[in-house]
A and B are shown apart, each in its own frame.
Chain A
């Protein structure tokens, strides 16, 4: 070897990877390279002899629990625009009910007085909006279920059950909201719950799409 070895060559020799005989021979004659080699070896030993921290069994248990949640469905893009629109419409409808101000009394009628007729109209409109929201959520859930059905066969039983339970829960919330027609607040609460579930399911499938891409 003419001249000094490169740093990478010395490092490889020190780490035991590719200890070329000519590099070692050079280090035997050259104080500068011998010093560098000594440092590199000392570093390697210092690092590697440190104790290995334990990997607690709970780590795998939690990983296993969490990785069973996503579903590898690759064709989610087909329904995404429709689903996004359905969810947005449903959310808007529900919001319209929430933000609609009560009809106040005419001037001179007293602060507490509220006309019966406008309230009745608002309730009817609220019911219509809630009906639309429930319909949209039901449609969105149907689209999600179709996509899920295509990928379900590739899942293990535990993951299938988790997804099946989630869909059943979302459906039951929408059904329960239909039965609560006489209680708009309760209906809205149930629809809010179903909206959260639909969004969660949609996000999970979108994540799966990211994975598949």
Chain B
């Protein structure tokens, strides 16, 4: 179990809101209707693919936004992800879940974009990063917009693969097995990478929680 060594028991008071979507409820709930949808999409029914897009594009767009950190590029990559998904629909195995499969394609698309950027980097934004406020308590940190900025910054420093795996797990609720499929890793590597990502994340967040960034 990850060990941060910092007392944050007060965070126990922070509930997971009912609106939060849980991994299990999302993962399992999608199976029966999605199977029919997939069959129809494989048969070339345009309406079925449209429903798949409507259902999954928010998650894909969110994931790509987190990986690419650029709205226009994330829009473009979302488009590319669904075009590729459409052409590969028949390669989706019966036991694969659509959500994880789409995020796997999205990750590949994002990697290609990141490689292009490394060859031809974008100009740096002119705005200087703001120094975050120091909040005295975990609750205050969590309840303020500051936590969101902290998380944003913490995600940025994670290596892209590690970030992708962590997002798939926490933000998109994929089971470890699906993440392994999407990332092309074995199960142990998925667990190790997500564990390390969590440690990195906590190290940055806990510093602010404790007031010692």
Give the interface of A toward B (CB within 8 A).
Answer: 4, 7, 10, 12, 14-18, 31, 33-39, 41-50, 52-56, 58-60, 62-64, 66-67, 70, 72, 154-156, 207, 210-213
User: Closest CB of chain A to B27's CB: distance in Å?
Assistant: 8
CB-CB < 8 A to B23: which residues of A?
15, 17
**B91 x A41 contact (CB < 8 A):** no
**CA of A119 to CA of B125 in the docked complex: distance in angstroms?**
62
26 contacts between A and B (CB under 8 A): A14-B16, A33-B1, A35-B8, A36-B2, A38-B9, A39-B8, A41-B16, A42-B142, A43-B202, A47-B170, A49-B20, A52-B62, A53-B74, A55-B57, A55-B61, A55-B78, A59-B57, A60-B53, A60-B57, A62-B79, A63-B79, A64-B46, A66-B83, A67-B82, A70-B87, A156-B46
**CA of A211 to CA of B205 in the docked complex: distance in angstroms?**
45
User: Closest CB of chain B to A5's CB: distance in Å?
Assistant: 9
**CA of A39 to CA of B11 in the docked complex: distance in angstroms?**
7
**A211 x B8 contact (CB < 8 A):** no
**CA of A54 to CA of B62 in the docked complex: distance in angstroms?**
9
Given A38-B12, A53-B74: A7 in contact with B20 (beta carbons within 8 A): no
**A67 x B138 contact (CB < 8 A):** no
User: Closest CB of chain A to B22's CB: distance in Å?
Assistant: 4
CB-CB < 8 A to A60: which residues of B?
50, 53, 57
CB-CB < 8 A to A52: which residues of B?
58, 62
User: Closest CB of chain B to A85's CB: distance in Å?
Assistant: 27
Given A53-B62, A53-B74: A37 in contact with B12 (beta carbons within 8 A): yes
With beta carbons under 8 angstroms apart, the residue of B21, B58, B88, B148 that contacts A55 is B58
CB-CB < 8 A to A18: which residues of B?
24
**CA of A131 to CA of B202 in the docked complex: distance in angstroms?**
72
**CA of A53 to CA of B171 in the docked complex: distance in angstroms?**
13
**A41 x B24 contact (CB < 8 A):** no
Interface centre among A59, A60, A62, A70 (most CB of B within 10 A): A59
**A17 x B25 contact (CB < 8 A):** yes
User: Closest CB of chain A to B30's CB: distance in Å?
Assistant: 14
**CA of A207 to CA of B167 in the docked complex: distance in angstroms?**
31
Chain B residue with minimal CB distance to A208?
B87
**B78 x A10 contact (CB < 8 A):** no
Tell yes or no: B34 within 8 A of A by CB.
no
Chain A residue with minimal CB distance to B12?
A38
With beta carbons under 8 angstroms apart, the residue of A17, A41, A207 that contacts B12 is A41
**B16 x A16 contact (CB < 8 A):** yes
User: Closest CB of chain B to A125's CB: distance in Å?
Assistant: 43
**CA of A55 to CA of B10 in the docked complex: distance in angstroms?**
36
User: Closest CB of chain B to A15's CB: distance in Å?
Assistant: 5
**A31 x B9 contact (CB < 8 A):** yes
Across the A-B interface, the 3 shortest Cβ-Cβ residue pairs: A17-B24, A38-B11, A16-B22
**CA of A47 to CA of B15 in the docked complex: distance in angstroms?**
13
CB-CB < 8 A to A55: which residues of B?
57-58, 61, 78
CB-CB < 8 A to A211: which residues of B?
87-91
Tell yes or no: B4 within 8 A of A by CB.
yes
**A47 x B2 contact (CB < 8 A):** no
Chain A residue with minimal CB distance to B150?
A46
**A50 x B151 contact (CB < 8 A):** yes
CB-CB < 8 A to A59: which residues of B?
57, 61, 75, 78-79, 82
**A42 x B138 contact (CB < 8 A):** yes
User: Closest CB of chain B to A51's CB: distance in Å?
Assistant: 9
Given A63-B83, A207-B87: A44 in contact with B62 (beta carbons within 8 A): no
Chain A residue with minimal CB distance to B66?
A50
